[in-house]
Chains A and B, each alone.
Chain A
Amino acid sequence: MISAAGLRKAFGPMVVLDGVSLDVPAGQCLALLGPNGAGKTTLLRVLATVTRPTAGRLRIDGVDALRDADAARLRIGMVAHGSYVYEDLTAVENLRFWGAMAGLDTSPERLRERLQAVELDVVADERARTFSSGMKRRLALARVTLGRPRVLLLDEPFTGLDRRGQKWLDEFLLAFKAGGGAVVLATHGFTSALAVADRAIILSGGRLVLDRPAAGLGRDELHRLYDDLIEAPPVGRP
């Protein structure tokens, strides 16, 4: 479903991704771990076709994503740090906007149903400016599920979610995988990652330093591996 080979991204002299290769087959979730500045967000942005890699190959659901980004984007659902929420639009208006931009069904019933799924239906007509970060995250998830993405790319999706929200997201991701979708989940939360992931990879200094099946990998062992493998960021780098 996602097949990346030798992804490299450099901003001037700074190499942020250095030869990252990964495969995420249909029905699998990959947890992407690593310290701040390891390149997790850049890798997600490259996989989402927002950022073009300096070198490497990328296929999304059989499509050469570097050659035909538009075709790949139709298959991708992305929840980034910022959630893509317009502050002066209501929850339902935000969904209508992004749905119409993607050419999806934006009937009032469909929009309400999606908001109900993330428990935002009671604030459907309130402006996003009044929402907490967790509510904005839920709204972003409602936006993603409005379409039928084959690949989900999530950057810290559990941040700001309360226990119910996290449980809902766990269940949603498990159902998404069961439906044949592929998920890449960048997170600092080991417990939440291991709850849904089939594999865990650790990125450090732009390089993959660990790629292990999540089954049988306990939280404590993952912590130990993480501490052993990550290197301190170079001086002057965040």
Chain B
Amino acid sequence: MTAYARRVGIVLWKDLLVERRSKESLNALFFFGLLLLFLFQFSLGPDRARLESALPGMLWLGFVLAGLLGLGRSFLAERENDCWEGLVLTAGDKSAIYLGKLAANVCVMGAVELVILVLFGLFFDVDLGRAAAGLAVILPLGTLGLAAVGTLFAAVTAQVRARELLFPVLLLPVQVPVLLATVSATQVALAGQPLGDAGPWLRLLAGADLVYLIIGLLTFEFVLEG
């Protein structure tokens, strides 16, 4: 294993272990997702046609709001005991830290999204089986897009006093291409149409992911070193 891959792996291992032990993000995100589903259920009522047109947007609204909570806490552990400074002092390419953090965020967000998705299917009586193949492509791509910028901006705002306010203000406008693409592609998938019908949206999503990932890899070192 190369030194770079080892460092990515150890950051991923550390973040998932800290999350498993503290369960701070997972517990909060799970209950937050549940709360959102209740709210959506009450606000939309039983009108099936209205429900179907709003479902993809609601689903991703749930993912984004839960993601905002989780991503914003990405560097919480680093703020204790000067661990941030310790990361600055590690020699070598700092983008390995970014990749490790990103992978951990994708894992945590993915777990929460799966739970929300299953509950979403039960709450709104959605046949997830016929959309499963499409969602298996859209969800990882959308999550990667959210987490790629989210991880970077969480680092940018980690040392700022008003980070809870600044983080969503920075993140949401940048996420517009990802949100447009994921909601549109999810609409196609939930309608049971072939995924090829969402081809342009998926290409936009993949392109946005790639751009965000490259920006994160190239700029993380400057963000970390302040």
Contact = CB atoms under 8 A, between A and B. Distances in A.
A86 B87 CA distance: 12
Interface string B1-43: 0010011011101100110011000000000000000000000
A20 interface: no
Interface in A72-95: 73-74, 76, 78, 80-89, 93
B92 interface: yes
Contacts of A86: 14, 18, 77, 80-81, 83
B82 interface: yes
B46 interface: no
Interface string B54-78: 0000000000000000000000010
B6 A85 contact: no
A234 interface: no
A89 B83 contact: no
Interface in A56-114: 70-71, 73-74, 76, 78, 80-89, 93, 96-98, 100-103
A188 interface: no
A119 to B, nearest CB: 20
A50 interface: yes
A16 B82 CA distance: 20
Given A49-B89, A74-B91, A101 B83 contact: no
Given A73-B91, A103-B3, A80 B82 contact: yes
B197 interface: no
A136 B81 contact: yes
B14 A50 contact: no
Nearest to A84: B86
Interface of A: 45, 48-50, 70-71, 73-74, 76, 78, 80-89, 93, 96-98, 100-103, 127, 136
Given A85-B81, A93-B14, A93-B17, 11 more contacts: A50-B88, A78-B85, A80-B86, A82-B81, A82-B85, A83-B81, A84-B82, A87-B77, A89-B17, A89-B18, A100-B7
Interface of B: 3, 6-7, 9-11, 13-14, 17-18, 21-22, 77, 80-83, 85-92
In the A-B complex, the 7 residue pairs with the smallest Cβ-Cβ separation, listed nearest first, are A82-B82, A84-B86, A82-B81, A100-B10, A73-B91, A88-B18, A88-B21
